[in-house]
Structure 1
């Protein structure tokens, strides 16, 4: 019988390492099929909560925030693109790419959890931003993602036209920051263990098996 694990993935839509981390985790869970049954919830984290809706040039943003040179940015993008390809995800970084506000995307993800389709929407949002160079702060782009995964578009539009779930998303963001989570992805296992970063598949498999072993040891005491 598969061992149940509760996984809370704290991440942002515009975080490339969140894509890498999830795709590695996804493959690890496939390879552990029959051993582990994961219940995944995506939790909100904004890398740039004060980003205006029109966004900012990605190179300018990374230079200002991290002090990265253009050469370092391009090399990092090449490395991420290769890691993504190995995991079956296509990154299309553009020289004129932009970073955007992602708060509305997180509101929709919170709603999608109730609708039972949260992971599909998260993956659609990753594809929107990193593959299709879309804008996750633009209502029409968000609604295309909603439609693509079979969620009710009119319900999503009503959320975006209001402030529904805004307070709840901010509460959750504050909660995870209060846990001193400042880097994403952070994957919290059973509210106790955590894995931070876009690790290789084998690292996830090893960690998940260690958690199961500890659970079984505790249950036997």
Structure 2
């Protein structure tokens, strides 16, 4: 019997744990049995809603805030990424700017059927290719491989109304109680918070397919 599972996924493209968590979700999806499909809907979230418009160098910000070498703080996520097949070197990440432009493209890609792939591509461009995803041309380069024309993408990231809607959705996510990302909601019934092991996503899908397993896991 065919079964579609809905996953609402909240991420930010400059969140290193998000690129790992999304990859683990995708690996769990790839292992699902025939007849089970997954509809992943990506939603905007601001890792740091106070990111200045002029951007911030993450290493400098962390060193100033915590008085530690940022490499110490990056080591765990880099190790987790490596175990997931992602070659993550956070010392190479570009400055962070507000992410509403990328979020807007991802939101608009929902109707094109390329939303989740585009969200992953933007995060990969930032963390793995070290591209500045605040730049309109860079975002357009990525978007054209996911159903947009260059003109359409450039217009979208400069559309004040589209940006306003995206901003309100990101703020609303935090107001509704989501305190960190990645954050996953399965079939609007239960949530998985944070970058969990792939096995956790496998169990979540098992519970979505057979709700009785959700109670068993809780016991």
Query: How would you bin the TM-score normalised by the shorter chain?
Result: 0.7 to 0.9
Counterpart for residue 104 of structure 2: 107
Distance 1:94 1:149 in 2: 28
Counterpart mapping for 1:8-157 below 5 A: 8-34=8-34, 36-64=36-64, 67=66, 69-70=68-69, 73-94=70-91, 97-157=94-154
Taking structure 1 as the reference length, the TM-score comes to 0.87
Shift of 1:169: 1.3
Distance 2:95 2:67 in 1: 16
Give 5+ residue unaligned stretches, structure 1.
none
Distance 2:32 2:77 in 1: 25
CA separation of 1:52/1:174 partners in 2, compared to 1, >3 Å: closer, same or farther? closer
Shift of 1:4: 1.7
- Structure 1 contact 81–91 (Cα < 8 Å) conserved: yes
Distance 2:169 2:99 in 1: 15
- Structure 1 contact 49–103 (Cα < 8 Å) conserved: no
Shift of 1:215: 7.0
RMSD of equivalent CA atoms: 2.3
- Structure 2 contact 206–213 (Cα < 8 Å) conserved: no
Could you give the per-residue CA deviations for residues 81-130 of structure 1, whole angstroms, max 9, x where no partner exists?
33223323232322674222111111111111122111121111111110
CA separation of 1:56/1:22 partners in 2, compared to 1, >3 Å: closer, same or farther? same
- Structure 2 contact 102–157 (Cα < 8 Å) conserved: no
Q: Secondary structure at the match of 1:99?
A: coil
Q: Secondary structure at the match of 2:160?
A: coil
Give 5+ residue unaligned stretches, structure 2.
215-219
